[in-house]
Amino acid sequence: MTRAPDLPALFDRADGLYRDYKLGAVRAWKARTGGLAIGYMPIYIPCELLHAQGVLPVGLMGARDDLEIIKGDAYYQSYICHIPRSTIELGLNGNIDCLDGLIFPAICDVIRNLSGIWQTLFPDKLVRYLDVPQNFSPDIGGRFYRHELETLCAEMAGRGARPYDPEALSASIALYNRLRRLVRDLYALRQEAPWKVPTSELYIMLRATLVLPVEEAIDLLEEYHACVEAADDRQPLDQARVLLTGSFCEQPPIGLIRTLERSGCYIVDDDFVQVHRWIKSDIPVEGDPLNNLVQAFLSDAIASSTRYIDQGVKGAELLDRVRISGAEGVLFCAPSFCDPALLDQPMMVRAVETTKTPWTAFKYSENTGQFQVIREQAGTFADSIKLWSEA
Amino acid sequence: MKYTIGIDLGSTTTKAVVLNEDSVVMGRGITNSRSNYEVACQVAMSEALINTRFSLLRNELKSEGLSEVELDRWVSELERRFRAEQYRSQLTVLTRELNRFAGRMLIGGAALRAAVGRITGLMAAEVEDLYAEGTRRKSDFFRDLAGGRYMKLAETESRGHGVGYDQVVGLFDKSILDVENSAEAAGRFKDHMAAAVCAAGAADGVLGQAVSRVASRELEQIGSVGTGYGRQRLPFPEGQIKSEILCHGLGAHAMFPLTRTVLDIGGQDTKAIQVDDQGIVTSFQMNDRCAAGCGRYLGYIADEMNLGLHELGPVACQSDSPVRINSTCTVFAGAELRERLSLGEKQEDILAGLHRAIILRAMSLIARSGGISNQFTFTGGVAKNPAAVRALRDLLTEHYGDLDINISDDSIYTGALGAALFALRDRRRSAGAPAIH
Amino acid sequence: MSKDQSQVRQKDMIARHFDRLAAAPDTGDKTAYTFVPGNLTELLLSFDLLPVLPEINSLQSAMRGKTAEYIALAEKFGHSEDVCTYVKSDIGMMKSGNIGPTGQRLPDPDVLLLSYTGCFTFLKWFELLREEYHCPVAMLHVPYQPDGRVTPSMRDYVVKQLRDEVIPTLERVSGRAYDEDRLKAHLALAAQAEDDLVWVLQSAKHRPSPIDAYFGAVYYVGPIFSAFRGTQAAVEYYRALRSEIDERIREGKGPVTPDGEMGQERFRVVVEGPPNWTSFRQFWKMFSDEGAVAVASTYTKVGGMYDLGFRHDPSRPLETLAEYCLGCYTNLGLPTRINLLAQYIKEYEADGFLINSVKSCNSFSAGQLHIMREVERISGRPGGFIESDLVDPRYFSAANIKNRLESYFQMLEQKRMGGAA
């Protein structure tokens, strides 16, 4: 079976979804189904819950680099990151008015406070600050989180979504397990053969899944997987294998990812679009599904910078990822003014240094327009890794 | 004549406006702010007073029954000749200072003096042509006019006579400060006017008589207010210093009484001001501590591109496909420009993008200050830049629909005008008269 | 002089506390590092643990002119220039020998009590310190109040953490069993001091206001925000302070500033946001020179919103601690903050409000421009906006701030005159 010829068309479709500020796909879905669509900010929400009540979850991750920010800048001082500006710009421009609500998971003070702005700007929409526990004991944090989720379910139902139904949730979990597995497989394939799965392409695919119903997202990724597996024309180059970390909320412009690849790096693991990787393995579909969602959050989630690392050592998971991905170096690539990433960085650097893994660091914002410095920095980094590995 | 004066001490230029008791603008003066604020203030003031006497002269001649056409011809000829006299007297000071500095050189002083002599001799001979009827001068400032010519001639000298270009130029840089700080820079109305009248061959006629009446008129200052970035350094008592925000608001209101939103982009900062129907400021925002997007940023870009500040706008206006520029960070501007040029992007397209980026920042500031209400008035040095104005018009139309956008040729004097109005108002209040509206 | 009595008392309290801290390695006293918002001082005291407050150390370092050096040191160790300067100043201080505000060395913590209230950075701060000190951490996650109310789920979550995790950790570290009666006794003392503090803060409703409720009140909240809430010393301090202020009201006096008695009260303003500490006196002077008095502020509520009626209630010890933590100012949603500011403007008859937006603190700062517009809309009073930082002297541009403040006060003046004309 040769699927390779379909790849350009597939990519174009994904790229179109990624570039569509107006969320045309979401509007079409709503027109077709009459259902509610609710957006969510980075990094993670349990999309299953929305899906089970017939709601389309829509991931918002800022506005790339080509949206002119006027209104958004009126809300933020120069020392605050970029993603809340573009989110406000999209909101006030009416670009995302097809969303019936927006969920703000607890990841940092900026996103938290954005939820308050949203409450006053859009009083008719569902606006939910989804507090997540930093205590990971089932009886304490688990109980609190479950209550947060139940509140969300009730609010959605209050706006016309189907009421909470455990059977429907179990089915949704199963679907999302499939999606998560597909993403994990693609990440594994990229680790094995990064020339077949360029990150700049995989990234666009993942972004596209954020605006699609999970069923279509699964189709898209399955098709993509088949395409890249068959892409025999893609041949390995002498590039350095790097792990990129810190870009979990505000996303870099696609030009930055391409710049890294062109300057000699194969990105073999990253923090982009973590929503489908937040839970590391399949969530059980037997038993109380809401409990299963809660338990997965408590005990099977990634060691994000936005979480308190209770048991265990800071940076241990990063070292595991370096090992598993076979990365030869680490790129600390955080948005300017991102508190969680930047406050974590000294600890992560120290962890990486214990294994003598080379690293370098730079910052971006989603609308960074020039990559010259990063190109030089990443190029030098990749070259030095290659020299090192030859020596 | 009784008058009030407002002085706006900006980071780049110092402006003065003279008002008569009926709130009519009688004179305006402008000069480089340079390092000595007090001198800058003096120069701007005496410029404004000279300008005031020209206004008085116009009024005198008008009452003599001269037609508008005649009036324009006569006054502009006199003004031209007056400026030539002013230029000449500053050139004299410059020559003296150049020689003084050259005389201090231990080695090569003689050659340098000879070169300076030839240059200033040529410059003196050119004054007549420089101020001939119909000649366009690229600036009204002696520093720019004389400087430009001096640099050209210095180049010839360094080629022809083996004198170091840098040395000749260095002399000018030292001497010009003394010229600007001299009494000559402020101008002498009586003397220069007398010379101008003579040169025009009009000493005995109606014109001569009117000039001597105006020259002997007493100008009595009844109030003054200082404002602007350097206002704390102005030689004014504390009560006579007002924030530039208030002065800009009132000045814009005076120029365009229907103004509700004012945008001022100056050298050092950007201000968005909302005023009510009396010109009273209701809210304002200024750019944060970073100066990105202000006039200074344009100056920096001009340097990077090897262009004059005044050339930026016209070059940018040639673009029909501006590039997108997201950062107006002055620190990164140089690198970004070079990268874009190296990618083959056109200079005018980059410049047009930069102008749009600056105005985008300003738009955010306006939104912060409470949005835009009709009418909208744009002031400050950047309002003279056609590319900035074009970007502003485009963005305003895109985001706020049809608006009346006011830009005055005299917009640079907005703050000084507001200050002079405050001075008049204070005077009236203390005299028990109703406040002006 | 009687008017200085409270200040002398406070100085003395602080000196004694730091003496005990300095002697801790010898006396065997155990210390807990913890934070101001949502502090559990009574609980620590009931275990005989001595509190150390890194935030207060950072602001004290700033007032002593040390933070430029400390921040530079932390940045040298890889901390980004973008992040909170309280954290960097603290880390720099630690790396420079951990010499506290009194010039004495601070003991290493025996436990880090991470009560995570209203600010995400706290969590990272103690993760960073844990790497340095390798000591136990007692984590207390306090959920946010997005909708302006404390739900039973939130309260239960906090109480459970206190009972099942925080208290057992403190028992292990201190070697003492949890003694609820002791805790109750401290809570009762806390409530007494809180009454007097609220009286002092609300004295600003008088004309002229006898206090500056921002700059001056920073000193007034000192004991209750730090190591002394729930002590007899704090009760006495606030009683003394109250009688001093009472006297000022009777004499019709305005606030005392570092440069002496303030002149005529010309403007009454409400202030949002923390002060700048590196140029604290200069900053204050920019207000007092203009005759501007802060009649209410939100910064003085980061350690507890007592003026809205909350008091520590000894009859429900863990519930009351939970409610205290949940109610601290920066834990409140933006709509609640907006309404609070508008309410202050009304109740304290303010001419306007000023926001000092600090680069370090996203919890405070993110959204302040929105807060400004909304408060202007609701209150009809003009807002002013200035930008600086907590303890990084690079972000205090005196000329710039003075220019804005002057413009703002002149605008208030002009509005007043315009209204009269």
Domain ranges, ordered by start, for chain B: 2-216, 258-407
In this complex, is the C-beta atom of B437 within 8 Å of any C-beta atom belonging to chain A? no
The helix (H) or strand (E) run that includes residue C108 is none
Q: Round to whole Å and give the CA distance between B303 and C265.
A: 49
In this prediction, residues C359-374 reach a mean pLDDT of: 96
How many of the other CB atoms lie within 10 Å of CB of B7? 33
Question: Of the candidates A66, A74, A372, which has its C-beta nearest B324's C-beta?
Answer: A66
**Residue contacts between B and C (CB atoms, under 8 Å):** 46
How many of the other CB atoms lie within 10 Å of CB of B211? 25
**Contact C333/A119 with Cβ under 8 angstroms?**
yes
Q: Round to whole Å and give the CA distance between C86 and C391.
A: 7
Please give the order of strands across the beta sheet that includes B270-275: B281-286, B270-275, B261-265, B376-379, B405-406
Q: Among A18-27, B4-13, C315-324, which stretch is predicted with the lowest mean pLDDT?
A: B4-13
In this complex, is the C-beta atom of C418 within 8 Å of any C-beta atom belonging to chain B? yes
In this complex, is the C-beta atom of A147 within 8 Å of any C-beta atom belonging to chain C? yes
Contact A71 B364 (CB under 8 A): yes
**Contact A130/A38 with Cβ under 8 angstroms?**
no
Q: Which residues of B touch A367 (CB under 8 A)?
A: 326-327
A303, A331, B82, B189, B280 from B217: Cα distances, Å? 84, 76, 18, 12, 35
Structure tokens at A241: 């294998």
* Closest chain B residue to C372, measured at CA: B368
| DSSP label of C99 | B
Structure-model confidence comparison of residues B176 and A3, the more confident one: B176
Average pLDDT along chain B: 86
Q: Is B433's pLDDT higher than 60?
A: no
Distance from CA of B366 to the nearest CA of A (A): 8
pLDDT tens-digit readout, B335-368: 778 878 888 889 899 999 889 988 988 998 898 8
Question: Of the candidates B325, B327, B364, which has its C-beta nearest A74's C-beta?
Answer: B364
Distance from CA of A345 to the nearest CA of B (A): 24
Average pLDDT along chain C: 95
Distance from CA of B386 to the nearest CA of A (A): 21
In this prediction, residues C142-152 reach a mean pLDDT of: 96
* pLDDT in the model for residue A186: 98
My answer on whether C198 and C87 are in the same domain is no
Q: Is C105's pLDDT higher than 90?
A: yes
Residues 6+ apart with CB under 8 A from A15: A204, A208
pLDDT tens-digit readout, C208-266: 999 999 999 999 999 999 999 999 999 999 999 999 999 999 999 999 998 899 999 99
* pLDDT in the model for residue A1: 43
**Contact C62/C43 with Cβ under 8 angstroms?**
no
Of residues C25, C88, C124, the one with CA closest to residue C96: C88
Contact C160 A140 (CB under 8 A): yes
Q: Which residues of B touch A71 (CB under 8 A)?
A: 364, 367
Q: Which residues of A touch B398 (CB under 8 A)?
A: none
Q: In B24-68, at which residue ranges do the beta strands (DSSP E only) sit?
A: 25-32
Residues 6+ apart with CB under 8 A from C185: C314
In this complex, is the C-beta atom of A195 within 8 Å of any C-beta atom belonging to chain C? no
A82, A195, A294, A324, B427 from B7: Cα distances, Å? 40, 67, 68, 70, 16
pLDDT tens-digit readout, C109-136: 999 999 989 999 999 999 999 999 999 9
A138, A291, A299, A300, C159 from A295: Cα distances, Å? 7, 6, 6, 8, 21
In this complex, is the C-beta atom of B284 within 8 Å of any C-beta atom belonging to chain C? yes
State whether residue B277 is helix, strand or coil.
coil
Provide the pLDDT confidence category of residue C106 given band limits of 50, 70 and 90: very high
**Contact A131/A143 with Cβ under 8 angstroms?**
no
In this complex, is the C-beta atom of C397 within 8 Å of any C-beta atom belonging to chain B? yes
Contact C373 B370 (CB under 8 A): yes
In this prediction, residues B52-76 reach a mean pLDDT of: 88
Domain end (from C179, C207, C236): C179
In this complex, is the C-beta atom of B245 within 8 Å of any C-beta atom belonging to chain A? no
Q: Round to whole Å and give the CA distance between A211 and B220.
A: 73
Contact A120 C370 (CB under 8 A): yes
State whether residue A270 is helix, strand or coil.
coil
Q: Is C285's pLDDT higher than 90?
A: yes
- Structural domain boundaries, residue C113: 2-179
ipTM surpassing 0.90, yes or no?
yes
Q: Which residues of C touch A84 (CB under 8 A)?
A: 366
In this complex, is the C-beta atom of A92 within 8 Å of any C-beta atom belonging to chain C? no
Contact A71 B288 (CB under 8 A): no
Provide the pLDDT confidence category of residue C318 given band limits of 50, 70 and 90: very high
* Closest chain B residue to A373, measured at CA: B335
My answer on whether C156 and C280 are in the same domain is no
Contact A66 B335 (CB under 8 A): no
My answer on whether C264 and C399 are in the same domain is yes
Strands B13-20 and B25-32 come out as antiparallel
* pLDDT in the model for residue B292: 66
My answer on whether C188 and C129 are in the same domain is no
What CATH number is attached to the domain comprising C112? 3.40.50.11890
* pLDDT in the model for residue B161: 74
Question: Of the candidates A128, A308, A349, which has its C-beta nearest C123's C-beta?
Answer: A308
* Closest chain B residue to A70, measured at CA: B364
DSSP string, A158-227: HTTPPPP-HHHHHHHHHHHHHHHHHHHHHHHHHHH-TTTS-HHHHHHHHHHHTTS-HHHHHHHHHHHHHH
Residue whose structure tokens are 């174009």: A12
Domain ranges, ordered by start, for chain A: 24-165
My answer on whether C76 and C213 are in the same domain is no
pLDDT-above-90 percentage for chain B: 36
Helix C180-202 / helix C232-250 crossing angle, nearest 10 deg: 10
Q: Among A333-337, C40-44, C190-194, C397-401, which stretch is predicted with the lowest mean pLDDT?
A: C397-401
Segment 335-354 of chain A within 8 Å of chain C by CB: 336-340, 342-347, 349-350
In this complex, is the C-beta atom of B310 within 8 Å of any C-beta atom belonging to chain A? no
Contact B395 A70 (CB under 8 A): yes
**Contact C189/C232 with Cβ under 8 angstroms?**
yes
Contact B336 A77 (CB under 8 A): no
- The count of domains in chain C is 2
Most confidently predicted of A359-373, B378-392, C242-256: C242-256
* pLDDT in the model for residue A5: 52
Contact B246 C404 (CB under 8 A): no
CATH of the domain spanning B258-407, picked from 3.90.170.10, 3.90.79.10, 3.40.50.300, 3.30.420.40: 3.30.420.40
Question: Of the candidates A308, A338, A363, which has its C-beta nearest C139's C-beta?
Answer: A308
What residues pair up with B32 in beta bridges, in sequence order? B13
Q: Which residues of B touch C410 (CB under 8 A)?
A: 242-243, 245-246
Distance from CA of C130 to the nearest CA of A (A): 10
Distance from CA of A113 to the nearest CA of B (A): 18
Contact C400 B289 (CB under 8 A): yes
* pLDDT in the model for residue B36: 75
My answer on whether C74 and C188 are in the same domain is no
Report the neighbours of C using a cutoff of 3 or more CB pairs below 8 angstroms.
Answer: A, B
* pLDDT in the model for residue B330: 63
| DSSP label of C205 | G
Provide the pLDDT confidence category of residue B435 given band limits of 50, 70 and 90: very low
Tell me the residue type at C242. Answer: R
Contact B243 C410 (CB under 8 A): yes
**Contact C194/C224 with Cβ under 8 angstroms?**
yes
In this complex, is the C-beta atom of B327 within 8 Å of any C-beta atom belonging to chain A? yes
My answer on whether C321 and C356 are in the same domain is yes
Question: Of the candidates B288, B290, B327, which has its C-beta nearest A369's C-beta?
Answer: B327
Structure tokens at C378: 């609701």
Provide the pLDDT confidence category of residue B401 given band limits of 50, 70 and 90: confident
Query: Tell me, which fold does domain A24-165 have in CATH?
Result: Rossmann fold (3.40.50)
Provide the pLDDT confidence category of residue B41 given band limits of 50, 70 and 90: confident
* pLDDT in the model for residue B186: 67
Report the neighbours of B using a cutoff of 3 or more CB pairs below 8 angstroms.
Answer: A, C
Q: Is C60's pLDDT higher than 70?
A: yes
Contact C120 A112 (CB under 8 A): yes
* Closest chain B residue to A370, measured at CA: B336
My answer on whether C147 and C244 are in the same domain is no
Contact A134 C365 (CB under 8 A): no
Of residues B139, B145, B148, B184, the one with CA closest to residue B169: B148
Provide the pLDDT confidence category of residue B290 given band limits of 50, 70 and 90: low
Give the burial string for A265-298 (b: 16+ CB within 10 Å, else e): bbbbbbbbbbbbbbbeebbbeeeebbebbbbbbb
Provide the pLDDT confidence category of residue B167 given band limits of 50, 70 and 90: confident
Contact C164 A139 (CB under 8 A): yes
Question: Of the candidates C114, C123, C164, which has its C-beta nearest A140's C-beta?
Answer: C164
Q: Round to whole Å and give the CA distance between A82 and B357.
A: 16
Question: Of the candidates C369, C387, C421, which has its C-beta nearest B289's C-beta?
Answer: C387
In this prediction, residues A380-388 reach a mean pLDDT of: 91
Provide the pLDDT confidence category of residue A391 given band limits of 50, 70 and 90: low
pLDDT tens-digit readout, B209-228: 888 899 889 999 999 999 98
Q: Round to whole Å and give the CA distance between B340 and A54.
A: 48
Give pTM, 2 decimals. 0.90
Q: Round to whole Å and give the CA distance between C214 and C230.
A: 23
Q: Round to whole Å and give the CA distance between B233 and B36.
A: 10
State whether residue C32 is helix, strand or coil.
strand
Q: Round to whole Å and give the CA distance between B19 and B3.
A: 5
pLDDT-above-90 percentage for chain C: 94
Q: Round to whole Å and give the CA distance between C336 and C150.
A: 12
Q: Is B110's pLDDT higher than 60?
A: yes
| DSSP label of A252 | P
Helices (H), chain A: 7-19, 24-33, 47-52, 83-92, 109-121, 143-158, 166-192, 199-209, 214-229, 254-262, 289-299, 316-325, 339-354, 372-390
Tell me the residue type at B386. Answer: P
In this prediction, residues C38-42 reach a mean pLDDT of: 96
Question: Of the candidates C385, C410, C414, which has its C-beta nearest B285's C-beta?
Answer: C385
**Phi, psi for residue A100 in degrees, rounded to 5:** -90, -5
pLDDT tens-digit readout, C369-394: 999 999 999 999 999 999 999 999 99
Structure tokens at A189: 């394939």
Q: Among A69-78, B409-418, C7-16, C410-419, which stretch is predicted with the lowest mean pLDDT?
A: C410-419
Contact B288 A70 (CB under 8 A): no
Q: Is B428's pLDDT higher than 90?
A: no
The helix (H) or strand (E) run that includes residue B387 is helix B386-400
State whether residue C15 is helix, strand or coil.
helix
pLDDT-above-70 percentage for chain C: 98
* pLDDT in the model for residue C247: 96
**Contact B207/B61 with Cβ under 8 angstroms?**
yes
Provide the pLDDT confidence category of residue A195 given band limits of 50, 70 and 90: very high
In this complex, is the C-beta atom of B368 within 8 Å of any C-beta atom belonging to chain C? yes
How many of the other CB atoms lie within 10 Å of CB of A5? 9
**Contact B11/B426 with Cβ under 8 angstroms?**
no
In this complex, is the C-beta atom of C404 within 8 Å of any C-beta atom belonging to chain B? yes
Of residues C234, C328, C337, the one with CA closest to residue C35: C328
In this complex, is the C-beta atom of B331 within 8 Å of any C-beta atom belonging to chain C? no
Q: Among A88-97, A259-268, A358-367, B361-370, which stretch is predicted with the lowest mean pLDDT?
A: B361-370
Full 3-state SS string of B143-180? HHHHHHHHHHHHHHHHHHCCCCHHHHHHHHHHHHHHHH
Q: Among A89-93, A379-383, B74-78, C242-246, which stretch is predicted with the lowest mean pLDDT?
A: B74-78
Cis peptide before A43 (omega within 30 of 0): yes
